[in-house]
Amino acid sequence: SWDTVTPGTGNGIHVGNVTVGTSGSAPSFQMVDALGHRTTDLKGATTGAGTVLTDADDVWGNGTMSDRASVGVDAQFGAQKTYDYFLTTFGRKGIWDTGKGAPSRVHYGNAYDNAFWDGTQMTYGDGAGNANPLTSLDVSGHEMTHGVTENTAGLAYRAESGGLNEATSDIFGTMVEFYAASPVDAGDYLIGEELGSAPFRYMDKPSKDGRSPDCYSSKVGRLNVHYSSGPLNHWFYLASEGSGAKSVGGVSYNSPTCTSKAVVGAGRDVAAKVWYSTLTNELTSRSGYADAREGAIRQAKAIYGKGSAQCSSIAAAFDGIAVPA
Ligand code: ASN
Ligand code: ZN
Ligand code: CA
């Protein structure tokens, strides 16, 4: 695993005090782990590989932007936890399923308020005022899941398939956040809740962002992919927790359905397992919401049995977002 060389200690911006896999020895440890997860500092550049972060005593960052390594801790930890989530949950050996860890670049550009996966590596900006880097666990997990999607279903980043692609990243970004069980960033069904005055996205009720639909309609595919993700994010919440008002880990949700029928949740581990099986066994670059429904129900039957409670929840949640049978 990633921490077999030297487990370093890190103080991140968003992840708090954590163990990170590093390598080397005093006085020059490197932020590179045994699987090849490596984090480099771009120092404001927008091209190039950056410089591998190094540290004299393997204690990285001070938890603030005054130490350049703090953001590196977030990125390295996010990559390692995302790797562990896919490995321990689905037996997937990383983004390429080869056992190789993904590289990350931090301090990209000036006040760059985004993060992205480019097919080979992760890149994070320092956010507005260079004070709020885009390195929360749900965002790291979101971006690296784009890599998993690219190497599995290959959902095209446009129309309905693009919405499914984005929602897949929100689903597993959220699962990584729960999996990491961070004392300073507990799991929730919100995306980027610590990064601004409001979360980027709300999975229980996507329309809370003012732009994403809660319900599927044939018009969804005309929206930007970050809004056409709304119905599938809502499906994931409904399949996990069920409809109506509920508090999970101290966060209050109130998830509507698009019909008058209530949905009983099957738990997020079930919903995530069914969605991963759908992504890897059912979907292709051109799949849309109807394919998602059909594929997910087929996978739920295969995994849990026709007539199982899990299968009912998966199907009822698609009814709940108004994807026709
Ligand atoms: N943060 C954005 C996203 O992953 C950037 C992008 O790659 N479209 O959705
Ligand atoms: Zn995305
Ligand atoms: Ca979150």
Q: Kindly report, residue by residue over 251-260, the tens digit of the pLDDT.
A: 999 999 999 8
Q: Which residue's CA is minimally distant from atom 8 of ligand 1? A: 116
Among residues 273, 295, 300, the alpha carbon closest in space to that of 283 is found at 295
Q: For tokens 């018009």, what's the residue?
A: 219
ipTM, two decimals, is 0.94
**Confidence label for 3 from pLDDT (cuts 50, 70 and 90):** confident
Known catalytic membership, residue 143: yes
Whether the pLDDT of residue 1 is over 80: the answer is no
Instruction: Determine the straight-line distance between the first and last CA of the chain, rounded to whole angstroms.
Output: 43
* Pocket of ligand 1 contains residue 114 by CB under 6 Å: yes
List b or e across 27-39, with b for residues whose CB sees 16 or more CB atoms inside 10 angstroms.
Answer: eebbbbbebebbb
What is the Cα–Cα distance from 283 to 164, expressed in whole angstroms? 10
For ligand 1, pick from 143, 148, 233 the residue to mutate: most ligand atoms within 8 Å of CB. Answer: 143
Quick: pLDDT tens for 58-100: 999 999 999 999 999 999 999 999 999 999 999 999 999 999 9
**What pLDDT was estimated at residue 216?**
98
Q: Counting atoms of ligand 1 from 1, which one is nearest the CA of 226?
A: 9
Q: 2-6, 70-74, 191-195, 222-226: which range is least confident on average?
A: 2-6
What is the Cα–Cα distance from 76 to 61, expressed in whole angstroms? 12
* Pocket of ligand 1 contains residue 115 by CB under 6 Å: yes
**What pLDDT was estimated at residue 46?**
98
Percent of the chain with pLDDT over 90: 97
Average confidence (pLDDT) over 234-238: 99
- For ligand 3, a single-atom ion, the residues with CB < 5 A are 138, 177, 188, 190
Q: What are the phi and psi torsion angles at 238 (to 5°)? A: -60, -45
**What pLDDT was estimated at residue 2?**
77
Whether the pLDDT of residue 127 is over 80: the answer is yes
Quick: pLDDT tens for 269-291: 999 999 999 999 999 999 999 99
Q: Counting atoms of ligand 1 from 1, which one is nearest the CA of 143?
A: 4
Could you give the dihedral angle defined by the CA atoms of residues 156, 160, 164 and 170, in that order, rounded to the nearest 10 degrees? Answer: 100
225 within 8 A of 158, measured Cβ to Cβ = yes
Percentages helix, strand, coil for the chain (3-state, rounded to 5) are 40, 20, 45
Domains and CATH numbers, the chain: 11-135 (3.10.170.10), 159-320 (1.10.390.10)
